Amino acid sequence: GEEVAQTPKHLVRGEGQKAKLYCAPIKGHSYVFWYQQVLKNEFKFLISFQNENVFDETGMPKERFSAKCLPNSPCSLEIQATKLEDSAVYFCASSQGVSGGYNEQFFGPGTRLTVL
Amino acid sequence: AQSVTQLGSHVSVSEGALVLLRCNYSSSVPPYLFWYVQYPNQGLQLLLKYTTGATLVKGINGFEAEFKKSETSFHLTKPSAHMSDAAEYFCAVSDTWGKLIFGQGTELSVKP
C-alpha cells in the first residue's frame, strides 16, 4: 500500500496480559522501525528490520518484548505480561533504505496501548 | 552517539508572525537531520530533511531549515504562521543504522 498501516488503533490490556500489535509497511520498503511514544513527547526506538531480518535491536527490552517481520505477513510487536509502564503509543515506520536519499521514514498512525 | 536538543517545550506566536523552532544536535558523523510534525492523535509527518548538499532546506507548508555545522544547529522557520500550523514539532537525527533519535518536541501554539 501507499501508507503504513497499523492495527489495532487502540488496545486495552490488564496488567500481565499479552499485547500484539501489527504493522504493514509501504510496499517496496525494505526497512521497518518500531518506536514507543510515552507521555506524548518522548520517542524511544525499539527495533528495526531489513526485510525479515532484525537490523538493529539496541532499544528492545529483551525480557518481555519480541518482534517479527515474516514474508507476506504484517510485521508484529508482541509484549508478554504487560506492565503499567508499557502504556504508550507504538509507532511503526518504513523506509526504502537507511542512507542517502532513501532514509526517509514514513510513519503509521500508531497503536495506543493502555495497560490497566 | 547522536543526540538532539530542542530549546523550548512550548512556543507561542501570533498568526502571521515568524515561527522559529530551535534544534541543536550532537553527532560524531555527518548527520542526517529531520523535522517532523505531529497533529493531535496522529502519526508523524515529515516536514523536511537534510542529508547532504545545500544547507538551506525547503519543506512542505512553507517551512524551511538551515543546517549550520559550526553551530550544530538545524532550526526550523516559517515566515508567517497560520492557525493550521499549531501542532507538536520534533527534530531528529538518524544514526548510521537508520534509527531516529528525537528531541523532546516543541508545541507550537498560534494565536489569532
pLDDT tier at B17, thresholds 50, 70, 90: very high
Q: What is the pLDDT of residue B28?
A: 80
CB-based contact A43:A33 (threshold 8 Å) = no
With bands split at pLDDT 50, 70 and 90, how would you rate the model's confidence at A97? confident
pLDDT classification of A100: cutoffs 50, 70, 90? low
> What is the pLDDT confidence band of residue B35, given thresholds at 50, 70 and 90?
very high
Share of chain A above pLDDT 70, in %: 97
For testing contact with chain B, the best of A21, A37, A38, A41 (most B CBs within 10 A): A41
Rounded to whole angstroms, the Cα distance separating A95 from A104 reads 6
Interface with A, mutate which of B4, B47, B99 (most A CBs under 10 A): B99
The residue-averaged pLDDT of B71-100 equals: 94
d(Cα B12, Cα B112) in Å, to the nearest integer?
11
B100–A101 CB contact, under 8 Å: no
Q: How confident is the model at residue B31 (pLDDT cuts 50, 70, 90)?
A: confident
Any idea how long chain B is? Answer: 112
Burial (0-12, 13-18, 19+ Cβ within 10 Å), B84: exposed
Count the residues in chain A.
116
What is the pLDDT of chain A when averaged over all its residues?
93
Mean pLDDT of B23-28: 92
Partners of A40 on chain B (C-beta within 8 Å) are 88, 105
CB-based contact (8 Å) between A26 and chain B? Answer: no
Q: Which residues contact A47 (CB under 8 A, 6 or more apart)?
A: A33, A34, A54, A56, A57, A59, A60, A65, A67, A77
Does A99 lie at the interface with B, CB-CB under 8 angstroms? yes
Q: Whole-number mean pLDDT of chain B?
A: 94
Cβ-Cβ contacts under 8 Å, B44 against chain A: 91, 93, 107
